[in-house]
Each structure stands twice: as structure tokens, then as C-alpha cells.
Amino acid sequence: MSAVPPLRATGGCLCGAVRYEVRGPLRSVVACHCTQCRRMTGHFLAATAARQGDLAITRAATLTWYSASGGARRGFCAGCGSTLFWHGSGRDYVAIAAGSIDGATGLKLVQHIYTADKGDYYELGDGAAESARGLPPVCLEWS
């Protein structure tokens, strides 16, 4: 019998109706400035990620998945509206809103993506790498 990996993180929505846990590594935080993320969150989405097999939804009373496009779906709480997840079709990981994690994460923001779509009301320049389009392979490292 194989041992259960240690608990890496727990988190959930604002009202507590959706809870999750991660047993396994988390990716560094990536800030997505695409139009869909900005509309879904009201700003940009800062997200880590876990491999699908390492993420367990432990309470899903109001978890709702919205198919934002043919290529991805977004998980949120239908009760309080918290943005929680992004899952791209065919991807073996699920992005997790970094702000939904309980307590300290030990993670670092390493990349801004889709900066060509960012809002005109803010500037970047925090030292993290920037990409006008999608996620470069360097950001798929797990910690």
C-alpha cells in the first residue's frame, strides 16, 4: 500500500461552501491578464496550480463550473462568487486562485501572462517575467 502524500495546502471560497486540499507540489504563481480572467475576477487572476490527481475537492456544495470557451472551464462558488479554479481542456493540472489558499503559501509570483490584454488602469514592473501571450514552459515548474 502506498503512503498518502502529505497535505501541501488547503483552501476554499469566502463563504466556506467550497473547500479543497492539495497533496503534492504547487506551481509558482502566475498572473493572467487575459480578458476572461479580468472579467471573472474584476482585475487579473493570480494563480498557482496542482496536478489533477493532487487536488481534492472536499466540500462542493456550491461549486459551479463555467465553460468560458471551448478550451477551458472556470470553477467558482455560486454562493459567494469566489473565483477558485481554471482548468484547460487536456491539461493535467488545475490552476488555483492563489488568494483562496488558507494561510501562508511559500509561493512566489514568477510570471505575468497575456500582458497584451491587461487593463489600462495599472502598470506592471514588479520584476516578474512578462509574456504578451500564454504561459511559457518555465512556469510549469512545481515546488
Whether residue 17 contacts residue 59, with contact meaning beta carbons closer than 8 Å, is answered with yes
CA distance 85 to 134: 17
Q: Where are the domains of the chain?
A: 9-140
Which contacts of 113-117 are long-range, i.e. CB under 8 A and separated by 24 or more positions?
Answer: 113/30, 113/31, 113/32, 113/33, 113/34, 113/139, 114/32, 114/33, 114/34, 114/37, 115/33, 117/33, 117/34, 117/35, 117/38
pLDDT in tens, 110-129: 999 999 999 999 999 999 99
List of residues 6+ apart from 3 with CB closer than 8 A? none
CA distance 120 to 58: 38
CA distance 97 to 15: 15
Q: What are the backbone dihedrals phi and psi of residue 50, each rounded to the nearest 5 degrees, phi first?
A: -130, 150
Whether residue 9 contacts residue 23, with contact meaning beta carbons closer than 8 Å, is answered with no
Whether residue 130 contacts residue 115, with contact meaning beta carbons closer than 8 Å, is answered with yes
pLDDT in tens, 46-87: 999 999 999 999 999 999 999 988 889 999 999 999 999 999
| pLDDT classification of 138: cutoffs 50, 70, 90 | very low
Q: pTM of this prediction?
A: 0.92
CATH topology of domain 9-140: 2.170.150
